[in-house]
Amino acid sequence: MKNSRRDFIEKTLKAAIVGTVGVPLIARPAKGAVSRSTSIPPYLFKQIQLPYAVNALEPSIDAQTMEIHYGKHHASYVKNVNEAIASEKVTFASEEDLFKNISTVSDKIRNNAGGAYNHNFFWAVMKPASAESPSGKALDAINGAFGSVDKFKEQFTDAAMKRFGSGWAWLVSDNGQLKIGSTPNQDNPLMGNSEFKGTPLLGLDVWEHAYYLKYQNKRNEYITNWWNVVNWNEVAKRLG
């Protein structure tokens, strides 16, 4: 009898323990806790490795300008935006989401996020000088939208020349339609509050730091020579 009674008591206690502190309670996180397995870290920007030597774009873009532009300006944008994302506890999980909601963040994040992205894009759509010109799908798309490559270049150059002060000129795809426009400062067409929107296919930096060492105030000469280093293969790739 004693053994039976002891067995009964032990079974009852075990059942009570399982019922009050069993698996469901152990698996339930504390209030306010974030599960490491499901949390997504905030998006942080990275500076791409320059896809060519700093002197590879000469004579169109000189090595000293590239060293300062890539090594100082661009590096600062990346550093500053990541610091601001951390200090301001911004939690967007992708570059796309951040730009869509750019009006909700500080000017520091907006300016430096734009600078980080725009320059990564800029380096990628250039290559060492060659006789390359638009071909294949890029040529077909440009001819279809603007009539000819010459007319496209004329319109793009006009947008770059008319951007007052600092900014960028862009070729974008807007729901499959090619458009040319420009944005001020370090804004870009992916930003939700940009007046000019689309998916960037080609971009030109017309901030003075991009050309002043070689061209001084001659933005027109900078643009003319820049066409010699456009990476049309990259433009075609971005067309999809």
Does residue 7 belong to any structural domain of this protein? no
Instruction: Please state, for a pLDDT cut of 90, what percent of the chain lies above it.
Output: 80
| 40 found inside a domain | no
Identify the pLDDT of residue 131: 67
141 domain-assigned: yes
Q: What is the pTM of this model?
A: 0.82
Please report whether residue 42 resides in a domain.
Answer: no
Structure tokens at 21: 């502190």
Within a domain: residue 21? no
Does any domain span residue 114? Answer: yes
Q: Tell me: the pLDDT tens digits for 92-128?
A: 999 999 999 999 999 999 999 999 999 999 999 999 9
- Work out how many domains the chain is built from and give that number: 1
- Range(s) of the domain holding residue 130: 63-239
d(CA 120, CA 229): 16
Residue 153 is assigned to a structural domain of this protein: yes
* Residue 112: Cβ-neighbour burial (10 angstroms; 0-12, 13-18, 19+): buried
Q: What is the pLDDT of residues 16-52, one digit of tens each?
A: 433 333 333 223 332 222 222 346 788 999 999 999 9
The enclosing domain of 154 has a CATH number of 3.55.40.20
